[in-house]
Structure 1
């Protein structure tokens, strides 16, 4: 029982997984009955008339997300309390029974439309656990109910980029545990929204393993196949509202895909990581947390460690009881977006000359223009058999920088296992950074340096490595 390196390299993303990875950074919007009760997990017996945002403005939500540099929004269309943000035909526990807009409102419709107008993608979170629905626990009956609601969301609101299922699973009011029919749900999604990724309790994107923003030093996208079922295990699911759960980090699972792991399993899949974390301590809005919003510096660190660590960042922004994103959250997100645009818009390495100084165990003299051509559909790799390579980048003049961004051509798998960066000071090469995996994107934060010549040395790789991007950026420019 073992997966060979050659087999692991042949595992590549599907087109939908690749399109999702390229989104990089998008929003979670936790909004619903809990916003008005002060709870994080509602019981399901709340009066629908409690839902009454006084200044609801979906366009404001989307504008705030867009200003931060986000590419999409995932809305909590139904949380564990079962209250639906759309007028579902299968329950009266929805906005249709509220006083908001005289029962004619539809939060899902408004957010989906605002996303389309402003150019963001739209996704749906729908909780499989429903603490209001009486059939929960009567597995066949409830599964039919859940699938009917899923069809509503996937047919009435245009293109959906993501269906997000979490693993929370508790007893129904009848004392029974629901057995979810995941495969039937997946089939419905593939039929109605074939381009949508299915996240967490799904086959396309996996949970990073915590809600604290913790990232692994080496984040592999090729991991053991059994991980796709991890969040479905009832005994391991979150069954109570435990605030400590959000900050829990299990360092025992920091290695998901090394050669040592491959030697222990007989099947691997492409199952990339998504980091979900809230801009506030909790997921739904709480006015006592208005002074606990993550700072711009914390958001920058979070972005660079996640998006720049071969993951995607799903950042939660909870609207308040007005139905607006709070001014503090909006200000911090706007400043984050301004910083990201100021830092990563200008790549000082575009068009730079790239010479291959070494490949495998032999010195060579060849060029590798695709590394700095600024395109995502080109790449360089050494001849087959060359698992080591050194690239020397001539920027043409001395430039100031404090970020170097690397990308593999993941359409051919994830290969790089270890690399070094250096710059030339006179005739001497001085170290800048040492890292492990690259994957879709690796952001290397370095001390601000002024140099003309840089070197990327790939010292360990699964077969011959690919490099599709070498970027040089300055956060202080």
Structure 2
């Protein structure tokens, strides 16, 4: 009898709790479905901001500019550095017109000449006739960039062909760390610092204390992104042509990397889907053939720069484009014009998204129709935190997005896909169909993937993006169909 009364009492309690819960839901708005769990590793705040820059600028400037060399000997006299009209404000204006948000200056290249008045060596602007030895290129650079609201970065070459301490581990590392502290204490708000392993194989052997250097950098300015072959924030893509791998993960294993190791270039180029570290790739290339200015050289054609853009930014990387000042101390008019032309072309290509006038259907919706992860999120201006999310896989491996024209008259030659990388990079493999015919078979997406087609697509009705393999459910932050009027492939049929 007691058991019956106990069970009856429990049943009444359950009913009461259920009724109270339903009444509570009725009195309040529906609770939103939470986002899916992230897939590690994840980018830091500074890495996300870096990725959104897309194109940044390198400025190679120093004694090589006047000796007409790429790698100086280290024995150049400081007196050859004498730019008659150096104007860092002109550099910043050129960058601003090109939509550049970060500029990196070679504070010291391999020749050891310092563009700031270092108290640790006389081989600097102190010993040059420029401004009677009282100038500071780095300070002028920082001031000019800041005035244009452009962030700054510096490159301090580990290889120093001038300093006699090079080749002696402890004395040289003390010297290098002293200059590192000098720069980061004097010039504030540095957003990227560049380290590399470039060195002549015949040069003296010396061990660089990279771990000490990196720790010092973070101690002095914690918001800096450190670039090197092994990060820890940004990695080299493995070449100097501005080209990433067709597969390019932002994830990689730092334990497999070492600075200056020629055997890891392929790994740097592609990354690693099983990587435990978020270390996105930066693609460095010069607007000219050389890194320093040479009178005999001209800037690359617009078509070449656009090729580089699609193969770097369009493959989940940031493009670091070198634009070297000349012997006067200015960015040459031809280079400035080409850079402005480059930005104008990018704006022309991507200012109009044909997908915005189409109807968008998806394979499923996380949280159902009342959820906040609908396909409309792929057409807004937030390319990080607003995204379409399908239902959890449940064993299903494919998800799709259908872009359907309202009049069956789509004309495009570029397809854009972007992932919500704040939740991790996920897509391993995807395909794209136009009116049922497959036109793209590809792998990774990441922050941005641009597919430039071999020929224009005209009068298309339906474009379908299929994600056929991913690390968890894919989260798509943006999609686009664009027309590139500058692209003429060998398969394009000229119009009459």
> Given the alignment, which residue of 117, 127, 134 partners 1:104?
134
- How do 1:267-306 and structure 2 match up within 5 A? 268-290=276-298, 293-306=299-312
Question: Looking at CA atoms only, which structure, 1 or 2, has the larger radius of gyration?
Answer: 2
- How do 1:292-441 and structure 2 match up within 5 A? 293-350=299-356, 353-357=359-363, 367-376=374-383, 377-385=385-393, 386-394=396-404, 396=406, 398-424=409-435, 429-441=436-448
What residue in structure 2 maps to residue 445 of structure 1? 452
- How do 1:164-179 and structure 2 match up within 5 A? 164-169=194-199, 177-179=205-207
Residue 280 of structure 1 deviates from its aligned partner by 1.5
CA distance in 2, matches of 1:470, 1:350: 9
> Given the alignment, which residue of 460, 465, 470 partners 2:469?
460
TM-score, normalised with respect to structure 1: 0.85
What residue in structure 2 maps to residue 203 of structure 1? 232
Residue 22 of structure 1 deviates from its aligned partner by 1.1
Residue 311 of structure 1 deviates from its aligned partner by 0.9
CA distance in 1, matches of 2:352, 2:200: 49
State whether residues 359 and 389 of structure 1, in contact with CA within 8 Å, keep that contact through their aligned partners in structure 2: no
Flag the structure with more relative contact order, 1 or 2, with Cα contacts below 8 A and sequence separation at least 6.
1
State whether residues 163 and 198 of structure 1, in contact with CA within 8 Å, keep that contact through their aligned partners in structure 2: yes
User: Which blocks of at least 5 consecutive residues in structure 1 are unaligned?
Assistant: 1-6, 238-248
Residue 208 of structure 1 deviates from its aligned partner by 0.9
How big is the alpha-carbon RMSD for the aligned residues of Structure 1 and Structure 2? 2.7
CA distance in 1, matches of 2:56, 2:461: 35
Residue 306 of structure 1 deviates from its aligned partner by 0.5
> Given the alignment, which residue of 71, 87, 90 partners 1:60?
90
Q: Could you tell which deviates more after superposition, 193-202 or 296-305? A: 193-202
Please state if 1:183 is matched with 2:230: no
What residue in structure 2 maps to residue 163 of structure 1? 193
> Given the alignment, which residue of 37, 44, 47 partners 2:67?
37
Residue 255 of structure 1 deviates from its aligned partner by 4.8
CA distance in 1, matches of 2:413, 2:475: 24
Residue 127 of structure 1 deviates from its aligned partner by 0.4
What residue in structure 1 maps to residue 149 of structure 2? 119
CA distance in 1, matches of 2:459, 2:180: 54
CA distance in 1, matches of 2:325, 2:200: 27
SS at match of 1:82: coil
State whether residues 388 and 464 of structure 1, in contact with CA within 8 Å, keep that contact through their aligned partners in structure 2: no
State whether residues 137 and 171 of structure 1, in contact with CA within 8 Å, keep that contact through their aligned partners in structure 2: no
Q: Could you tell which deviates more after superposition, 429-438 or 412-421? A: 429-438
What residue in structure 1 maps to residue 12 of structure 2? none
SS at match of 1:230: coil
SS at match of 2:307: helix
Residue 177 of structure 1 deviates from its aligned partner by 2.3
Residue 250 of structure 1 deviates from its aligned partner by 6.4
Q: Could you tell which deviates more after superposition, 377-386 or 307-316? A: 377-386
CA distance in 2, matches of 1:423, 1:80: 51
CA distance in 2, matches of 1:226, 1:278: 30
User: Which blocks of at least 5 consecutive residues in structure 2 are unaligned?
Assistant: 1-36, 487-496
State whether residues 107 and 155 of structure 2, in contact with CA within 8 Å, keep that contact through their aligned partners in structure 1: yes
Residue 214 of structure 1 deviates from its aligned partner by 3.0
Residue 275 of structure 1 deviates from its aligned partner by 0.8
Residue 251 of structure 1 deviates from its aligned partner by 6.1
TM-score, normalised with respect to structure 2: 0.82
CA distance in 2, matches of 1:421, 1:31: 44
CA distance in 1, matches of 2:291, 2:398: 45
CA distance in 2, matches of 1:18, 1:134: 40
CA distance in 2, matches of 1:392, 1:19: 30
What residue in structure 2 maps to residue 223 of structure 1? 252
> Given the alignment, which residue of 241, 244, 269 partners 1:212?
241
Q: Please give the per-residue CA displacement for 1:46-89, whole angstroms capped at 9, x wherever unaligned.
A: 11111001121212222222333322111000001110001111
Q: Please give the per-residue CA displacement for 1:117-156, whole angstroms capped at 9, x wherever unaligned.
A: 1122110000011111122222222212111211222122
CA gap of 1:187–1:367, structure 2 versus 1, over 3 A, is closer
State whether residues 354 and 367 of structure 1, in contact with CA within 8 Å, keep that contact through their aligned partners in structure 2: no
CA distance in 2, matches of 1:355, 1:448: 21
CA distance in 1, matches of 2:270, 2:184: 36
